[in-house]
């Protein structure tokens, strides 16, 4: 299967990105033809400092490599290295009804959070559809919040196929892959962990910072002896992502019985988290010391990605009669 996904370089990646998206990227690269990219065109809707955008873009590639993505297996590229993307986005936009974009929750959310209501933000899902359709993707691993964008991608593909596709269609219809257990990773305040809420624990936060942030995770005021409900506790939610099955089951039981204090859970969670990312932290230090290697990965991936993209774009151009 062709697997494809992207992540915006709009800041350091956090634990929500890891469990919602990156961990799936790692699992899926083994047995599939995987394409993963840094969505820098998309990030332009929120990052307006060119130096910072370049830095974040480099950092996302480093993070993916440090976590163990194998650039020999997966094509790890940068969106803007494939300019065919924006051309396809235009072709798709000509068959996308305004109403589909108007109902997008993420656009409405971002405007409500204070981002200006610009055309790029509004048309964001069309660019995302181009990202996906340009590589004939079958499966797109993402977190729950991207579900609507995947639906729009399918709708746009079907519409284009209907208008121009004839018998065989132009685009392959992709499916999302959303892991139930980590569809929405909670942040420090109990809401969805997200850069825009300032409630993240970053994958490469220093251990001391991780410990400090874990202490801040919101908990209620249930006393130590009282029984607690693990299902509604964001601290337990995070703990259960890092703990092995046995330890998780035991903690679940202790929550329900009473007798466990939140302080104890936090100390253990911080330990588990730091240990989990330790090997990646070391690889990251090596990669940061070797930017030429990272640049070489980027440019060879760009060549591979462009070759795939060109063929699909040509198919779309021919179907609609341009060129
Ligand atoms: P953010 O909300 O911090 O800006 P992005 O929108 O850049 O994060 O998300 C990148 C990827 O990580 C997407 O696939 C998204 O679904 C996933 N993701 C982000 N936050 C979470 C979360 N809290 N839980 C699960 N997945 C998440
Ligand atoms: N919109 C996605 C996010 O915010 C990033 C993204 C851009 C993406 N293009 C994509 C994800 C294509 C999957 C496939 O997380």
Q: Quick check: CB of 145 below 6 Å from ligand 1? A: yes
> Do residues 87 and 223 both lie within one domain?
no
Among the listed residues 258, 189, 266, the one whose alpha carbon sits nearest the alpha carbon of residue 228: 258
Residue among 5, 15, 20 to mutate when testing ligand 1 (max atoms within 8 A of CB): 20
> Do residues 274 and 298 both lie within one domain?
no
The secondary structure element, H or E, covering residue 3 is strand 2-7
Distance CA 147, CA 140 (A): 10
User: Is 198 domain-assigned?
Assistant: no
- pLDDT of 162: 96
Cβ atoms < 10 Å from Cβ of 259: 12
H helix and E strand count, the chain: 15, 5
Q: Quick check: CB of 194 below 6 Å from ligand 1? A: yes
Cβ atoms < 10 Å from Cβ of 239: 24
The DSSP call for residue 87 is: H
Radius of gyration of the chain (CA): 21
The secondary structure element, H or E, covering residue 118 is none
> Do residues 171 and 275 both lie within one domain?
no
pLDDT band at residue 167 using 50, 70 and 90 as cut-offs: confident
Express as a percent the part of the chain with pLDDT over 70: 100
Among the listed residues 108, 195, 216, 228, the single catalytic one is 195
Instruction: Render 225-292 in DSSP notation, one character per residue.
Output: TS---GGG-HHHHHHHHHS-HHHHHHHHHHHHHS---HHHHHHHHHHHHHHHHHHHHHHHHHHHT-HH
Instruction: Render 162-193 in DSSP notation, one character per residue.
Output: HHH-TTT-SSPPPEEE--GGGSS-B-TTSSB-
pLDDT at 85 over 80: yes
> Do residues 180 and 132 both lie within one domain?
yes
pLDDT band at residue 166 using 50, 70 and 90 as cut-offs: confident
Number of domains in the chain: 2
> Do residues 222 and 169 both lie within one domain?
no
How would you classify residue 295: left for phi > 0, otherwise alpha for psi between -120 and 50, otherwise beta?
A: alpha
User: Is 49 domain-assigned?
Assistant: yes
Contact between 36 and 64 (Cβ < 8 Å):
yes
Q: Quick check: CB of 195 below 6 Å from ligand 1? A: yes
> Do residues 68 and 164 both lie within one domain?
yes
pLDDT tens, position by position, 24-54: 999 999 999 999 999 999 999 999 999 999 9
> Do residues 90 and 148 both lie within one domain?
yes
pLDDT tens, position by position, 276-312: 999 999 999 999 999 999 999 999 999 999 999 999 9
Q: Quick check: CB of 104 below 6 Å from ligand 2? A: no
pLDDT at 4 over 80: yes
CATH number at residue 120: 3.40.50.620
Angle value at C-alpha 185, between 179 and 186, nearest 5 degrees: 155
CATH number at residue 210: 1.10.240.10
User: Is 112 domain-assigned?
Assistant: yes
> Do residues 95 and 113 both lie within one domain?
yes
Distance CA 217, CA 186 (A): 10
pLDDT band at residue 180 using 50, 70 and 90 as cut-offs: confident
User: Is 242 domain-assigned?
Assistant: yes
Cβ atoms < 10 Å from Cβ of 257: 12
> Do residues 55 and 135 both lie within one domain?
yes
User: Is 194 domain-assigned?
Assistant: no
> 231-236 long-range CB contacts below 8 Å, 24 or more apart?
234/186, 234/187, 234/190, 235/262, 235/265, 235/266, 235/269, 236/265
- Tokens at residue 198, please? 């300032």
Distance CA 39, CA 80 (A): 8
User: Is 192 domain-assigned?
Assistant: no
Distance CA 273, CA 160 (A): 45
Residue among 17, 57, 148 to mutate when testing ligand 1 (max atoms within 8 A of CB): 17
Contact between 201 and 213 (Cβ < 8 Å):
yes
Q: Which ligand is nearest to the CA of 195?
A: 1
* Mean pLDDT confidence for 173-200: 93
Domain that residue 49 falls in:
2-184+291-320
> Do residues 216 and 85 both lie within one domain?
no
> Do residues 252 and 159 both lie within one domain?
no
User: Is 191 domain-assigned?
Assistant: no
- Tokens at residue 13, please? 């990646």
Distance CA 214, CA 130 (A): 38
**Is 110 one of the catalytic residues?**
yes
What is the Å distance from ligand 2's center to 220 Cα?
A: 34
* Mean pLDDT confidence for 73-85: 98
> Do residues 26 and 157 both lie within one domain?
yes
C-alpha dihedral (151, 153, 159, 163), degrees to nearest 10: -170
Distance CA 317, CA 80 (A): 20
User: Is 190 domain-assigned?
Assistant: no
Write phi, then psi, for 115 (nearest 5 degrees).
-70, 140
């Amino acid at each position: 299967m062709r697997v494809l996904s992207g992540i915006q370089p709009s800041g350091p990646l956090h634990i929500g990105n890891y469990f919602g998206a990156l961990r799936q990227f790692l699992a899926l690269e083994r047995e599939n033809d995987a394409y993963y990219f840094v969505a820098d065109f998309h990030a332009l809707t929120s990052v307006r400092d060119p130096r910072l955008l370049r830095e974040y873009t480099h950092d996302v590639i480093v993070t993916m490599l440090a976590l163990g993505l194998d650039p020999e297996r997966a094509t790890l590229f940068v969106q803007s290295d494939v300019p065919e993307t924006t051309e396809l986005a235009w072709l798709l936009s000509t068959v996308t009804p305004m109403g589909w974009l108007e109902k997008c929750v993420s656009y409405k959310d971002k405007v409500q959070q204070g981002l200006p209501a610009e055309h790029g933000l509004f048309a964001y899902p069309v660019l995302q559809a181009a990202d996906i359709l340009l590589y004939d993707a079958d499966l797109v691993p993402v977190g729950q919040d991207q579900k609507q964008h995947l639906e729009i991608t399918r709708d746009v593909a079907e519409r284009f196929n209907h208008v121009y596709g004839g018998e065989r269609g132009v685009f392959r219809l992709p499916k999302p892959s959303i892991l139930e257990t980590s569809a929405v990773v909670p942040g420090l305040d109990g809401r969805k962990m997200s850069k825009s809420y300032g409630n993240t624990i970053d994958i490469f936060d220093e251990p001391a910072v991780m410990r400090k942030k874990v202490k801040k995770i919101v908990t209620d005021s249930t006393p130590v002896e009282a029984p607690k409900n693990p299902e509604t506790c964001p601290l337990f939610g995070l703990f259960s992502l890092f703990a092995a099955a046995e330890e998780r089951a035991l903690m679940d039981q202790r929550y329900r019985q009473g007798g466990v204090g939140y302080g104890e859970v936090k100390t253990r969670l911080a330990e588990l988290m730091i240990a989990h990312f330790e090997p990646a932290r070391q690889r990251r230090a090596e990669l940061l010391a070797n930017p030429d290697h990272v640049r070489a990965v980027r440019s060879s991936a760009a060549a591979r990605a462009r070759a795939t993209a060109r063929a699909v774009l040509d198919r779309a151009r021919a179907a609609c009669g341009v060129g």
